[in-house]
Chains A and B, each alone.
Chain A
Amino acid sequence: MNGGVETALVIGAMSDIGRAVAHALAEDGYALQLAARDPARLERETRDIRVRTGGAVTVHRCDVLDEDGGVSLLDTLDPLPDVAVCVVGLLGDQAESQQNPDAAERVIRTNYIGPALLMGSLAERFEQRGSGVLVGISSVAGDRGRAANYVYGSAKAGFTAFLSGLRNRLATSGVHVVTVKPGFVRTRMTDGMDLPSWLTAEPEEVAAAVVKAIRRRRDVIYVRGIWRLIMLIIRAVPERMFKWIKWA
């Protein structure tokens, strides 16, 4: 903390969800640390947040595809944030991921290895301090492997499991871990997809859910409640049947 103002770190702040989360946190009174691959491009976002909220914003470089998984980011953070939200993700193209191992590796590293290592390193420092909230944006795609997106889905499944383990390990340490499964969100990632509007959240909805989950120390949230039910059903279908069903 610095002078009563809590600090929040958003990793992947250039994404649509990252930007919405940053705005929601700034409005909630947090000083912000924004991290992205290309910090120069964050200039536009930081000015926007400063004008709208008058809050403090610092900019940091972080690329989860770097050799160190982006962990060097941590050394640039002063103070160590009270809240860290990881919004890093890459849907990739399933067909390309099947044929090209490099493409698959990129998806897996971006959605699992990078975010997991980052959250893990932050967790160490939060644990030493004895406080903090870690928020990982995972995905409903990680709830069950589907033909249409299993490379992405499996990486998200790994991330979900990692966050779950981290949460359980840190349960008595004062550090809290939130897993967010947004379902469909209207972003650049889903641009051009024909998504049913009742299942599709706006980035601002995800951001509001994240802020609420931080405040209430929730464990696992689905942004729209309906997704909890849908994924319950999808998980319940026996694999013998599941493999014949063509999910849209």
Chain B
Amino acid sequence: MKLSGWGRYPVLDCRMERLRDHNLHGMLDRRHTLIARGNGRSYGDAALNPDLTLSMLAMDRMQAFDAETGRLTCEAGVLLADVLDTFVPRGWFPPVVPGTKFVTVGGMIAADVHGKNHHRDGSFGAHVESLTLVTADGKVRECSRSEHVDLFRATIGGMGLTGVILSANFRLKPIETAFVMAETVPTRDLDETMALFEASRDWPYSVAWIDCLARGARLGRSLVSRGTFMACGSLPSRLVREPLCPAPVGRLMVPFDAPSVLLNRASIGLYNALYYRRGQVRGGARPIHFNPFFFPLDRIEAWNRLYGRRGFVQYQCVLPRAKSPAGIAALLERVAATGQGSFLAVLKLLGPAGEGMMSFPMEGYTLALDFPMRNGTLALLDALDEITHRHGGRVYLAKDACCTPERMREGYPRLGAFEAVRAEAAGAPPMFASELSRRLTL
């Protein structure tokens, strides 16, 4: 069947099977390779394999929950949305959430996702206590910081290339309410934006939306949003009745592919300007439910169709802290110069790198942009890649669809260690492979 990532580029004809129970033996066949796939929210080609793409969505059972410590054990195909629906009403919240709740636990581990609290709490992998992994020999291994340590570190952020994650356990954290006290602060330029990030280190959650069409003196002007979960006592009276409501907000649907002319310089410029004004008007802290705070785009089902049939690519990189001011400015200038714009341009200060050998986050600034796929887009991405590379940064494999092997290798210094562990777990040639690993010659 035709399969793609969330960006709908590239599209490949893949054999897809559903794993229905813990027995994988029929699937592990030396004659072909395979990759596990969660809910298909990685953007590029990470969860595609024409030989066999193994859907984990039927592996969605929760296995145990310890109400004392908040430790949840569940199968890899459990959706983050399910975890939220089940545990928010009981006063628990995942330690790290990415920008969408429609991801699986296995996917969050494989991509070692980060959230708005990375500067304080690290990536999702930092909160995983153990995971069970099926390797090429068919053995089920319990991996943790005390058992199969190397395999554990290679699997966190390992993009599914070390085996199939069957289940995992991680700790939820207690919350008193489902509401975040959030404030949005407008900044005038990149320096001010970065200074505000530094000054916001004590806020558990922070992120900036950048107006990527602004140039010159206004380059990097942003709306910095920061927040913290509210205590019961501080809730306004209208929210007190149900402080822990999981509040499924109404969802809008994009029913068909938008004509790609819809996203042009004028419309993106208008959107950016409006968004910026709105942020300025709505200054000051106010309570907001966690859903719109963490998952604003989840309200629009299938928003990826907004980019039309050719799909889009997301570009996310991280630059070391010292090189961030110059590097991020160079990236933004390059984007503004094309006038292509990007609907979403998100900047975030990340904390120190975690233990995952192939994990994306490192201390510095990460910038995420997306572009509709059209003529010239690949050339732009290549130019951005070159800037990232020149500033000692790296791209996020869960979003990437275009990077070259050489640049990727330099961005991930622990790749050698990863490859050694993978060779042992996945065999030679590796049984677990994806279009991404093929493209990057992993």
Contact = CB atoms under 8 A, between A and B. Distances in A.
Contacts, number: 21
Which residue of B61, B64, B65, B72 has the most chain A CB atoms within 10 A of its CB atom? B61
A52 interface: yes
A6 interface: no
B383 to A, nearest CB: 41
Contacts of A51: 62-65, 72, 74, 86
Interface stretch (A40-48, A79-87, A92-100): A40-48
A45 B60 CA distance: 10
Contact of A48 (B18, B21, B61): B61
Contacts of B21: 44
A188 B61 CA distance: 17
- How would you classify the secondary structure of chain A's contact residues: helix, strand, loop or mixed? helix
Contacts of A48: 61-63
Interface in B14-45: 18, 20-21
A72 B21 CA distance: 29
A47 B86 contact: no
A191 B20 CA distance: 12
A191 B55 CA distance: 14
A52 B90 CA distance: 11
Interface string A8-33: 00000000000000000000000000
Which residue of A44, A45, A48, A51 has the most chain B CB atoms within 10 A of its CB atom? A51
A38 to B, nearest CB: 12
Interface in B44-95: 61-65, 72, 74, 86
Contacts of A45: 61
A45 B63 CA distance: 9
Contacts of B61: 44-45, 47-48
Contacts of A52: 62, 86
B358 to A, nearest CB: 31
Interface string B340-367: 0000000000000000000000000000
Interface in A179-197: 188, 191
Nearest to B59: A44
A52 B64 CA distance: 9
A191 to B, nearest CB: 8
Contacts of A44: 21, 61
A173 to B, nearest CB: 39
Interface in A48-67: 48, 51-52
Nearest to A45: B61
A205 B18 CA distance: 21
Interface of A: 44-45, 47-48, 51-52, 188, 191
Given A51-B74, A52-B62, A191-B18, 14 more contacts: A44-B21, A44-B61, A45-B61, A47-B62, A47-B63, A47-B64, A48-B62, A48-B63, A51-B62, A51-B63, A51-B65, A51-B72, A51-B86, A188-B20
21 contacts: A44-B21, A44-B61, A45-B61, A47-B61, A47-B62, A47-B63, A47-B64, A48-B61, A48-B62, A48-B63, A51-B62, A51-B63, A51-B64, A51-B65, A51-B72, A51-B74, A51-B86, A52-B62, A52-B86, A188-B20, A191-B18
Question: What are the 10 closest A-B residue pairs judged by CB atoms, nearest first?
Answer: A48-B61, A51-B62, A51-B65, A48-B62, A52-B86, A44-B61, A47-B63, A52-B62, A51-B64, A51-B63
